[in-house]
Chain A
Amino acid sequence: QQPVQSPQAVILREGEDAVINCSSSKALYSVHWYRQKHGEAPVFLMILLKGGEQKGHDKISASFNEKKQQSSLYLTASQLSYSGTYFCGTELGAGTALIFGKGTTLSVSS
């Protein structure tokens, strides 16, 4: 039931782009994205709902392909502050538990 994230790790230079994927074998109701910096708690980035609704931070974009049960997080023109571990969480239905993937570690250097 745990969603699968890919890649496991990404190394970028400032200004480069990255895509992080999250996929599930089950039909999803929602996908959530969180970022965790080392030694800190996860912080909300984005929510995407089945049917197309989404909300999140202005500088973050993501997509949700309902046919493939896959979500992608797009990080463009990366900054040093983007470094951290990105987790997707998936929900199978409204009111069910949010299950997180194992995470994708992103390292941005100058």
Chain B
Amino acid sequence: LAKTTQPISMDSYEGQEVNITCSHNNIATNDYITWYQQFPSQGPRFIIQGYKTKVTNEVASLFIPADRKSSTLSLPRVSLSDTAVYYCLVVPGGYQKVTFGTGTKLQVIP
């Protein structure tokens, strides 16, 4: 399983765009990049997944460069309710076992 590296923590003011970058230098051809969000005292929640280029949904955007060795989760105009831990995972296609690292703790400031 490919190892990921992401910042331990980030602070942002309300209304700003937040970009969290994840490095995954040894990503394999059949791996997908997946992000989960975990609010305090809750289980993680899937937010977005991509293989290459850009993916956007109602929660976030995911940017993946051509070499796929890194990815950036973008949260537009964050609010206080976006304060959470964000986990970047590299998940093999069709494979079940995943590894959650320690994630990035995002603190949104009023």
A and B found bound together: no
